[in-house]
Structure formats: C-alpha cells, structure tokens
Structure 1
Amino acid sequence: MAASASAGSRHFKIFAAADGFGEPLKDAVVAHLRAHPSVADVVDLGVDKYYAAAAAVARGVSSSAPDPALESRGVVVCGTGAGVTIFANKYPGVYATHCSSAADAAAFAIADAWLATPFRAPCPASGDAPWPEDIQKFLDAAPVREPVDIMPGGEMRIVRESPTSAYVRFKAGSVEPAHHHTFGHDLVVIKGKKKVWNLTKKESYGLVDGDFLFTPAGDVHRVKYLEDTEFFIRWDGHWDIFLDEDLETARNAIDAELGVVDSEK
C-alpha cells in the first residue's frame, strides 16, 4: 500500500504487520527492507488478527506527517491478501493491492520493484500509459473523515451511499445519545471496545475487536465507547439519524447503568 509519492528524493519509512499465516514471510521481508539502501526506517507492528494488522499499518501510512524526503508505505502479509487489502483501503490516502499470481511469490523482488516504482507509474493494465487524469481526479475527490457534530468525539467517512457504507472512529469516553435510523444497519468492530444499549429491545451488548451487531430499522439505541474504537458500518438505505434524547441525558443514564453494574461485581 502507498500514500501519494513525494517529488523529492526517494527514501522510505515502511510500516509492516501480518496475521498468523503471514508472520514468517513478513519477518523475512522486514529483514530485507531494513538492509535496503532506500529505506530509512521499518516499523514492525508485529502480528495480530488480519483486520487489526491491516488497520495498524494503514493508520501508520495515513497519519504520517508529510515529508518531501521520506515517503510512507506499508506491507501487510496474510493468508490470502484479500481481507487486509479491503480493511487497509478504508483509510484516507491509502491505496492497497495484493499479489495475484505465482510470480508474485518472489517477495524480495517485489519489495525491490515496489520501492523503485513511483506511485503514479504506468502499468500493464493501462497499456503502460501514464496515469490518467480522471483517476487522479477521483483520488483527489475521495471522501475524508468528517466530524460527527451531534456526537462529540466521533468522525465518519462515507465510502458508498444508498445502501450506505462508512468507516467510523470514536474516542474513548464518547457517547452516542439514544437515537434511531430509518434503515437497519450492520456493524463490525475493527478495533476497540464499546457498549450498545438497544432500548427498544431492552438488551445490551459489549463489543470488541471483530464483533458484529445488527440493529433493525427504528430500534432506539445508545452507545458508550470504553476505548478508542474504529468500526465499519453499513445501512440498508441512505444514512440518517434521529435523536431521542440529548447528550447530557444519555451520559447520566449511562453513568447510572454502569454504576449499577460496578456495584454488582
């Protein structure tokens, strides 16, 4: 994966991670990259579940401070390459792809060619023609995360509309007041910890990395983020939100609820 290439001298900071299946190859590639003359730094983020490994590397690439002399790139190794690519591409400024042929198994040769190839280099898929301007315009207009004004501490990046898919982040301690939507939604936690109260069903759910939750259309629900949390969410139709209480009421209700739970431990 890569962020946009700089115009300066080509030196690289590499973020790397893997799942359990990809650990041996990741370790070999990291050792090779650390010896490469164009690589200034390799940040080995270790081994985790495939989606968490992809998210960790993508966060590193996406959040690196712009530096004309140091280009940030990332490597994620897993059993297939498909899942990590999907998760990594949810981050702004990250464009991930995976190996798709037997020849791609020459990992060291790939790493060397990758470092030598500018971000906008021609490729066989386009007849070795320069990068088309319409593609660049699309990338320049790619959606970015926007603050969720009615819910402090949250930000959302919509990647598709109606049905709507979005990547969402909330800071630890943030609260979603009781609310409902016109459409039901599926949610997968990428990283973090949150608690959801479905007030319509009078049920609550604790969610951590990899957990899934479906909330039906119209169900009123309230949320507390116990850690910095990232998740992917998909609505069956367009995104909308209708608040059923204010933020102060929600915080008081959650404090009372968590206080009852703590006193029972």
Structure 2
Amino acid sequence: MKLMHAVVFSLSALLLVGVPARAESTVVMTKADLKWKDMGNGIAAAPVSGDMATGQSRFFLKYPAGLVTPNHHHDTDHYVTLVSGAITLTVAGKEYSLGPGDYFALTDKQPHVAKVEGSEDAVFFIQADGPWNVVMEK
C-alpha cells in the first residue's frame, strides 16, 4: 500500500513538468538534450514538447525495474511507444508482453496496470492529446 501511494504521488507530480512551445518547424533532440525530472521512487519524466498540465504534450517517461503501477486511467487519450526495457501491460483483464519498439494506445479512459519486467528500467515515449493526469481506479 505504501508503494502504491508513492507511485500515485510520483505520477501526479508529472503535472508539474512542462516545456515551452517551440516555434521551429524542425526539432532535433539527442538523448543528451533530455532534461529528466525526478518524480520520486525512480520514476522520471523528460518533456519534449507541449505542456503536460494544460494541453497536448510529448514526453519520455522512465519507470524503474520492478515497478508495478496501481490500476489507473488517464482522462486524455495517449499513444505510447516502449523505447527500452520490457513491461507487462494489463488492460481489461488481458496481459500484453511488450518490448522495445512496441506500441499501444489507451483511449476512452481505459483502466490499466503496467509492470516493469526484468532488471532494466522501462522508458516510454508518450504523446498525450490533452492535459496529463492519473486517476486511480477504485
């Protein structure tokens, strides 16, 4: 239960992360350009564009090895590519084993759980269609 509360707090801290809008038509960022923000419990976010708190955004999210999120949903549709690591994603009682390069979309406030598998952190690239939030399922 303590870990669940810590994860909830960490995920909600993502709302504080934002990046100024870019006027350029071409944006190139290397891994060295990413500004990772510690969200606690090994979770980190690196914004790329937009403002996670107020609108559409794109960002990297890092979960530590062994992390299991509580069952939750997001109020905005989001589209996710797993960049590194391995996870088991559970949606509507079905488990999906995902690795680098795999993609999933969560729309319509679908409740889900993500479990990081193995000894490597999981890094995701996420595009959120609106303000990013985390809502715990009861």
Is the contact between residue 188 and residue 213 of structure 1 (CA under 8 Å) also seen in structure 2? yes
Cα distance in structure 2, aligned partners of 1:204 and 1:90: 33
Give the alignment of 1:149-164 within 5 angstroms.
149=40, 152-161=41-50, 162-164=55-57
Q: Secondary structure at the match of 2:70?
A: strand
Choose the corresponding residue for 1:147, options 38, 49, 57: 38
Cα distance in structure 2, aligned partners of 1:180 and 1:235: 13
Cα distance in structure 2, aligned partners of 1:234 and 1:148: 19
Shift of 1:177: 1.1
Corresponding residue for 1:73?
none
Cα distance in structure 1, aligned partners of 2:90 and 2:30: 27
Counterpart of 1:220, as a letter, is P
Cα distance in structure 2, aligned partners of 1:225 and 1:217: 24
Is the contact between residue 154 and residue 174 of structure 1 (CA under 8 Å) also seen in structure 2? no
Report the structure number with the largest CA radius of gyration. 1
Q: Secondary structure at the match of 1:148?
A: strand
Give the alignment of 1:1-265 within 5 angstroms.
89=29, 91=31, 93-94=32-33, 144-149=35-40, 152-161=41-50, 162-198=55-91, 201-226=92-117, 227-244=120-137
Per-residue deviation, residues 102-128 of structure 1 (Å, max 9, x unmatched): xxxxxxxxxxxxxxxxxxxxxxxxxxx
Cα distance in structure 1, aligned partners of 2:105 and 2:125: 12
| Structure having the larger proportion of residues in strand | 2
Q: Secondary structure at the match of 1:175?
A: coil
Shift of 1:90: 5.3
TM-score scaled by structure 2? 0.68
Q: Secondary structure at the match of 2:76?
A: coil
Is the contact between residue 156 and residue 169 of structure 1 (CA under 8 Å) also seen in structure 2? yes
Aligned length: 106
Per-residue deviation, residues 206-260 of structure 1 (Å, max 9, x unmatched): 1101000011131111111013111101111111111226xxxxxxxxxxxxxxx
Is the contact between residue 185 and residue 217 of structure 1 (CA under 8 Å) also seen in structure 2? no
Per-residue deviation, residues 177-205 of structure 1 (Å, max 9, x unmatched): 1111111111101111011111xx32221
Q: 1:196 to 1:90 in 2, by over 3 A?
A: farther
Cα distance in structure 1, aligned partners of 2:71 and 2:102: 21
The structure showing larger relative contact order (alpha-carbon pairs under 8 Å, at least 6 residues apart) is 2
Q: Percent identity?
A: 24
Unaligned runs of 5+ in 2: 1-26
Cα distance in structure 2, aligned partners of 1:240 and 1:90: 27
